[in-house]
Amino acid sequence: MQEDYPSREEERGLINKFEEQLKNQTFNFFDAAEYETIIQYYLDRLKFGRGLKASIIALEQYPFSMEISMLSAQCYLGKEQFEEALKVIENAENLHPNDPELLTVKGNILSIIGEFDKAIEVLLSTLDLAEDKSEVYYNVGLTYQTNGRYQEAIDYYKQSIEININHESALYELAYCLDVTGKLEDSVSYYKAFIDKDPYSAYAWYNLGIVYNKLEKFEEAVKAYDYALVIDDTFASAWFNLGNSYMNLERFSDAMEAYKNTLTNEGPSSEVYCCIGASYEKQGSYEYAIKYYRKASKLDQFYEDAWYGIGCCLAAQDKYYEAIHFLNKALKLDPENANYWISVADAEYHIGNIVSAAEAYQEAALLEPNNNEIWLDWSFIYHDQGEHQKAIELIERALDESPDESDLLYRMVVYQINAGLYKEAFTYLENALILNFENHEVLFEFFPKIETQKALYKIIDQYRDKE
């Protein structure tokens, strides 16, 4: 590929010139490097069809260009025309036999189309040719992983790391495969062995942090990321993951600082802006949170978490009408997200739109039928309206999904009592007490009257004595 990349103005000029050629069916001369720029431009914007047109014209003029052939293959892959992508690479291979780059691309295409054994054979054939053998082992591991053969993937990732301990992708995928196979705990000693060999490897400390984070040992993860950052304080990924660990530890102010250091070393991104927003939100600083969520949305208007964050902050300030506007923007981008539906339902309920709230809870329940909170909140709408039978029917549906959830059983007791169904309520209460006796305290939130509480205490005490 060309090393001297064109400026944005030069790139735009090339694209305009090429598109004018297509529109007017004329001919303009482009050298091979310019064609590479044009094709890459379309690839970056996922315009695979336009990139393919450019690559076909380019290959007619520069059939020996290996770079254009590989870009052409990427365009075919983007259009999911896998056989055509393989054909382009094989044609280039005839002109450039035993080229490791071409063989690597060929191996990856074979893996995509399910020819795993052939893919591995092709990739391994590059070992004697490749300058970076760790990359070969990494690609073989990735092929095994794609095929669900995690143990073989682990073996090859380890070989990759033994050659290059700083191979970030191999270290990350190794942690993933160890997690899938239930061997993540064992991998701590593996990473520590690398650290003993090279205690100044920021990547080794960083990946030890990832393992600890996956094991939910967040304090240990923080220490590992801290060591990585002592070695390299510009390590943006370490700052970001340190922020995530602090969030899990509910050290929100520390998380905010870590995320801001990520920005300093990596530049702006919607994800990091959202994380800073979330850290402010958790501290109750809603105006600052909204400020960062808005920054995220300006960078990427399709980043649904940004709109969701704004909506949640507005709802937390009881600005429900405004909140619904932003929550619906998030929902439009990701209608399969149950949390978005729940937040919309809650906001609609608070402004008195009972029908809309119920409809939103229904959508959430379809997406996550085992989420007890959805059923509890949805049924509470009807309970609050005095429609006890509807509330009971919803909890019955919830119990069909999760029959052994004491929260649902205790809530059913509340609704049965309010409906005057005392015999049925006692049966549910008995089952709830068997499942989780201590949880009976939730009942008293719904019955503030002392007389009712005394009656419930009497029944519960009888059960305690029976036990």
The helix/strand/coil state of 118 is helix
17-43 pLDDT tens trace: 888 888 878 787 889 999 999 999 989
Please provide the CATH number assigned to the domain covering 182-262. Answer: 1.25.40.10
What band does 1 get if pLDDT is binned at 50, 70 and 90? very low
Largest Cα separation within the chain, whole Å, is 94
Contact 403, 434 (CB under 8 A): no
Confidence of residue 343 (pLDDT cuts 50, 70, 90): very high
Full 3-state SS string of 119-188: HHHHHHCCCCCCCCHHHHHHHHHHHHHHCCCHHHHHHHHHHHHHHCCCCHHHHHHHHHHHHHCCCHHHHH
Domain boundaries, the chain: 182-262, 268-368, 379-466
Q: Which residues contact 431 (CB under 8 A, 6 or more apart)?
A: 409
The whole-number pLDDT of residue 130 equals: 85
Same CATH topology for 182-262 and 379-466: the answer is: yes
Quote the pLDDT of residue 5: 58
Residue 2 has pLDDT above 70, yes or no: no
Distance between CA atoms of residues 63 and 51, nearest Å: 16
The 10s digit of each residue's pLDDT in 222-275 is: 999 999 999 999 999 999 999 999 999 999 999 999 999 999 999 999 999 999
Domain 268-368, CATH: 1.25.40.10
Q: How far is CA 403 from CA 270, 338, 425, in A?
A: 41, 21, 16
Across residues 407-421, what is the average pLDDT? 94
pLDDT band at residue 445 under the 50/70/90 scheme: confident
Q: How far apart are CA 387 and CA 98, in angstroms?
A: 75
Q: What is the DSSP string of 198-251?
A: -TT-HHHHHHHHHHHHHTT-HHHHHHHHHHHHHH-TT-HHHHHHHHHHHHHTT-
Within 8 A by CB and 6+ apart from 303, the residues are: 270, 271, 274, 296, 297
Type of residue numbered 354: I
Burial 24-60 (b: 16+ CB within 10 A, else e): eeeeeebeebbbbbbbbbbbeeeebebbbbbbebbbe
Contacts of 412 (CB under 8 A, 6+ apart): 392, 395, 396, 399, 425, 428
Q: Is 96 left (phi over 0), alpha (psi -120 to 50) or beta?
A: beta
Using CA atoms, how far residue 350 sits from 43, 318, 325, 379, in Å, is 46, 9, 14, 15
Give me the pLDDT at residue 213, please: 92
Class of 379-466 in CATH? mainly alpha
- The residue with tokens 């919803």 is 394
Cα–Cα dist 66/249, whole Å: 50
Cβ atoms of 210 and 241 within 8 Å: the answer is: yes
Region of 114 (left: φ > 0; alpha: ψ -120 to 50; beta: rest) is: left
Quickly count: other Cβ atoms within 10 Å of residue 199's Cβ: 11
Name residues whose C-beta falls within 8 Å of residue 163's C-beta, 6 or more positions apart in sequence: 133, 134, 137
Q: Residue 135: how many CA atoms within 13 Å on its side-chain side?
A: 13
pTM, two decimal places? 0.74
- In this predicted model, what pLDDT tens digit does every residue of 41-53 receive, in sequence order? 989 888 899 899 9
> Exposed (0-12), middle (13-18) or buried (19+): which is 441, by Cβ within 10 Å?
exposed
In degrees, rounded to 5, the angle at the alpha carbon of residue 326 between the alpha carbons of residues 321 and 328 is: 95
d(CA 108, CA 220): 37
Residue whose C-alpha is closest to residue 406's, from 440, 370, 453, 457:
440
Angle CA(121)–CA(124)–CA(128) in degrees, nearest 5?
135
Tens digit of each residue's pLDDT (9 = 90 or more) over 61-86: 999 999 999 999 999 999 999 999 99
The size of the chain, in residues, is 467
Structure tokens at 129: 């040719």
Q: How confident is the model at residue 185 (pLDDT cuts 50, 70, 90)?
A: confident
* Alpha helix ranges (H) inside 26-149: 32-44, 48-61, 66-78, 82-95, 100-112, 116-124, 133-146
How many angstroms from the chain centroid is the CA of residue 403?
30
